[in-house]
Structures are given as C-alpha cells and as structure tokens.
Amino acid sequence: MNLEKLIEECCEQNLTAQSKVYQLFAGKLFPVCLKYSRNYQDAEDTLQDSFLTIFDKIKQYKSKGSFEGWLKRIAINTALQKYRKKEPLYIKSKEVETLDLEEESFENVDFDVNFLLELIQKLPDRYRLVFNLYVLDDYTHKEIAQMLRISEGTSKSNLSRARYILKKQLEAHQQKTV
C-alpha cells in the first residue's frame, strides 16, 4: 500500500492504517523525541503524544513537502509544548553577553554518539532546547525565539552557554581517558 493511500485511510480513522503509519515512522521519530527529552521514558511519552496529535491533525497535511518532515515538525512541537506545560523554561529574558567560544573544539576527536546524546540530555532544558533546535535541526535564532517566546539574543546566549557546558564536559571526559 502506498503512503498516500495510508494517509487517506488515516484521515478516515482507519486503525489498521494508523498502525502501519506508526510502524513506518516511529523508528524515525523516536530519535527526534529522544534528543528533546531528559531520558528514554520521556522520549517514549513524547512519541506517543506526537502520534496522537498526528492522527488528530492528519487531515491538515496537504501533501506539500515530505510527510516525514511534517511528522518531525509535530514531534518537535510536541516536545516543546511538553516542556512549556511541565514547568517554566527559566530562559533568561534579558540579553546576556554571549561567551566567546570557538566552534572548532573537537573536530578531530571521536566521541560515541550515545555519549554525546547523554551529555546533551543532561543540559538544562533552556540550553538543550536551543542547542537541539539550532545545531541539530537547523532552525535560525529568529525561529527559535518565536518558538520558545524569547528574544534572539537570549537564544544566542543559551546556545553559547550550551556549547560551553558541552565543551567543558567533553574536555573533562577526554582528560579521564588519556
């Protein structure tokens, strides 16, 4: 069965079609949920909430752009909404001087992807969200500011601080392994 037909059947609330869409895309959306979550269980919850939203709003998909991209956007928005509802992000509202960090850092060093994800997940929410949106999902500071309801300067500052924390953690880890 082709994707268009599956989407059409999902619009009609066909549970078999919904199950197939879930099976096709859960494995691709889970990593997205995981990088915006504190842990595996939170990511699972976010994935389930994302699919509830997907099936609730699937009639809004107009076959413009990729379906997978549309799904990813819903998963990211679901994760962001979860953190907005859970507790305030405590994002600093006034402009903070950004740290002067070089982006070169660890280009020639190999780190395990799971280790890096673990470090990112340990970042404070405000830093983790901005870091993921900017570095991993290619959003601009302007877009991030709108999504998180902060200023562009705050977005830049939070990114800078996230990079600084990660750099320090990676340096400490590298020192331990030498």
CATH of domain 113-177: 1.10.10.10
Tokens of 150: 């902060």
pLDDT score of 59: 94
Q: What is the CATH number of domain 3-86?
A: 1.10.1740.10
Residue 49's alpha-carbon distances to 52, 113, 162, in angstroms, are 5, 26, 27
Instruction: Report angle CA 137, 156, 135 to the nearest 5 degrees.
Output: 20
Q: How many CB atoms lie within 10 A of CB 159?
A: 21
3-state DSSP call for residue 38? coil
Give the pLDDT confidence score for residue 178 in this predicted structure.
67
Averages of pLDDT over each 10 residues, the chain, 178 residues = 90 96 96 90 95 96 91 94 64 41 47 83 92 93 91 95 93 81
Domain ranges of the chain: 3-86, 113-177
Residue 40 has phi, psi (to 5 degrees) of -60, -45
